[in-house]
Amino acid sequence: MEPDLLPTEVILTYPRQSLGKIQLDWMPQPGNYLDLEGKFYAVLERHHHYQYKVGGYCLQKISLYVQAAKSLDEQSLINGRWVVGDAECRFNAHSEILRCAVNPEGPCEGCRSFEARN
C-alpha cells in the first residue's frame, strides 16, 4: 500500500512568493527543514486547508511558510530538538531558525566570539 501523499504548497515568506507545489509523505512541523531542489528551507508555519465531503471534512492541502536556510551542517540536539549552531556556545540562541546574536550568519567553527556555556 502506498503512503498517503499530502499536496503541499511551499511559500517563501520574504519576499513572499510560491516556490511550487509538491507531494509530501511526512507532516513537517515548524522548526523542521525542507530540501527543495537542492536548497534548504526552515519551516516557519504550517496551514491546513480542509474541504467538506459527505461524512465530514477532509484535509485537502497544506501550505508551508518557509525561509531560506544556509546549510544543515551546524546543528546541535537540545532536549530532543535540533537547533542551529554549536549549542555549547554561550551566545547560541537555542533556536531552530536563528544561530546567535553575535554571529547569526555563522559558521560557529572558528568564531572569535565563542565562549563555552557554564
Residue pair 9/62 in contact by the 8 Å Cβ criterion: yes
Tens of pLDDT, residues 86-107:
888 889 888 877 888 888 877 8
Tens of pLDDT, residues 9-50:
999 998 999 999 999 888 888 888 888 888 888 899 999 999
- What is the spatial distance between Cα 35 and Cα 25, in angstroms, rounded to a whole number? 14
Is the pLDDT at 1 greater than 50? The verdict is no
Q: Is the pTM of this model over 0.75?
A: no
Other CB atoms within 10 Å distance of the CB of residue 103: 17
